Amino acid sequence: MFFERFYLACLAHASYLLASKGEAVVIDPQRDVEIYLEVAKEQGLRIVAIFETHLHADFVSGHLELAERTGAKVYLSGEAGATFPHVDVADGFALGLGDCKLRVRATPGHTPEGICIEVYDPEQAVAPWAVFTGDTLFIGDVGRPDLSPTHSPQQLAGMMYDSLHQKLMTLPDDTLVYPAHGAGSLCGRAMRDANSSTIGTERLTNYALLIPSREEFSLQLTSNLPVRPQYFAQDAQLNREGASALGELAALPALAPAEVARLQAQGVTVLDVRTAEEFAAGHVPGAVQIGLGGQFASWAGTLFGVRSVLILVGDDDLVHEARIRLARVGIEEVVGYLGGSVAAWQAEGHPVASVAQVMASELQERLKTSALKLFDVRREGEWKSGHVDGAAWHALDAFPQQLPELPKDAAVAVHCKSGYRSMIAASLLQKAGFTNVVNLVGGMDAWTSTGLPVVGETVCKG
């Protein structure tokens, strides 16, 4: 048997290729499918099947393109209502793959159409050898139950409890667990940073599996859910219909600074994909910064939505990589990029904006001696684990709905864990007209490593 895991860190997404006797199956493919085709060619494999564990909401799948390029059939739950050519499967469906057998377990809960895929390999002592759990069971967590337009979170949470205890927890303890996401994904809350686990390990250590009753499980899973990004429903629909091939995207043109200024004045969003340090030093006024070094695509989808129209700023290699990452979450309306980056913008006499940066010790002094207002833009769990005394909590996830309510000339400082999200927040505040924005270099990590104090559980919103 041949097996390979593929991991996209910027989406915390795991996909898999499994093969036996020259036949291969791909599970939960990412949108750019060349990686599976290359491995299949290298190993002398023929991709004959593609399984989707559910209609993914946080990324656009490449199942349709992969099927068209290989002749493979796409298998997913009949509950998905998929409109592209596929095979509906239900609980107990089995498919041979060389010497191996795949069997479907219907596991609704994260979504009504969720399935898991058990793999039986005669060469392995345990049967099933592994289970691909999609977004039903993560390592240390389970899928969030609030992504369905037809079921309430409470209904899905109850279904999830039944799927876990009546289906997955009946498997042998040595069965390997391979989920569709890792730590950092918006599809869960408390995933551990590991590539795989076992049913036995999850039975003993996964907080959700240790909840003693169905009622308490439902209560815990539906309380304090993270903000659901607006693009989730749009991506799920794209996956229901089947997305077009990436090769069909139009070429990305370089735009002159004057053209960028004209389009920006018409409402096109300028997205700067350079580092936070480069953006802080000088950028196109009104541009939003999301660096490629973090969860770029997830934040672009969260803040802009799938139907946004963008112009990119950065070096040529950066903007072309950004274009692919944006397409992975369904953002395709990129009209071009600023040719020559910010240097060309400056050379033609256009104004340049900057973001003031402050070190932790200096920020502490300014908070004591001035009217500076500090906003913590981390998520709620991070805030509760410890925050700066006097700070106000306003998670970056909530910025599309409401920015902090302050006069536009107020002195505002922002911070997150390391500085990645806070620079995004600073750029959004500047774009909204705030004129005195400061970013904490290194975020909460720098604050605590400097030995500065934090306080605990009190939540206050600003």
271: which strand partners? 288, 312
For each successive 10 residues of the chain (462 residues), what is the average pLDDT? 94 96 98 97 98 96 97 97 97 97 97 97 93 97 92 96 98 97 79 92 96 95 84 94 91 96 97 97 98 91 94 95 95 96 97 96 92 93 91 93 91 96 97 96 96 72 37
Please classify residue 213 by burial: count the beta carbons closer than 10 Å to its beta carbon, then call 0-12 exposed, 13-18 middle and 19+ buried.
exposed
User: Strand pairing partners for 255?
Assistant: 338
Q: How many residues does the chain have?
A: 462
Query: Can you read off the two tokens belonging to residue 319?
Result: 């903007």
Give the span between the Cα atoms of 196 and 177, in whole angstroms: 6
Q: Residue 457's pLDDT is what?
A: 54
Tokens 């900057």 -> residue = 354
pLDDT of residue 147: 87
H and E: helices and strands count for the chain: 15, 22
- Closest listed residue to residue 279, CA positions, set 352, 360, 363, 375: 352
Predicted confidence at residue 462, as pLDDT, reads 36
* Pairing of the two strands 23-27 and 288-289: unpaired
CA atoms within 13 A on the CB side of 229: 25
- Answer whether 132's CB lies under 8 Å from 115's CB: no
Q: Report pTM.
A: 0.91
> Rounded distance, CA 265 to CA 285, Å?
11
Give the pLDDT confidence score for residue 458 in this predicted structure: 43
* 187, 105 contact by CB (below 8 A): no
Q: Can you list the domains of the chain with their CATH numbers?
A: 2-241 (3.60.15.10), 249-347 (3.40.250.10), 356-449 (3.40.250.10)
- Cα 167 vs. chain centroid, distance in angstroms? 27
Picking from 129, 140, 137, the residue whose alpha carbon sits closest to that of residue 164 is 137
**Contacts from 119-122 at CB under 8 Å and sequence distance 24+?**
119/18, 121/1, 121/20
Q: State the pLDDT at residue 461.
A: 38
Among 454, 292, 295, 444, which residue's Cα sits nearest to residue 377?
444
Name the helix (H) or strand (E) containing 37.
helix 34-43
Burial class (CB in 10 A: 0-12, 13-18, 19+), 33: buried
Of 92, 133, 93, the closest CA to residue 114 belongs to 133
Alpha-carbon distance 345 to 366, whole Å?
34
Q: Are 104 and 25 in contact (CB under 8 A)?
A: no
CA torsion sign for 41, 43, 49, 52 is negative
Q: What is the DSSP string of 400-414?
A: TT----S-TTS-EEE
* Contacts of residue 38, Cβ cutoff 8 Å, sequence gap at least 6: none
Query: Which residues neighbour 440 within 8 Å (Cβ) at sequence distance 6 or greater?
Result: 358, 359, 360, 363, 413, 414, 415, 419, 422, 446, 447
Please say whether the beta carbons of 188 and 226 come within 8 A.
no
Distances in Å between the alpha carbon of 44 and those of 19, 26, 77, 425?
Answer: 10, 15, 29, 48
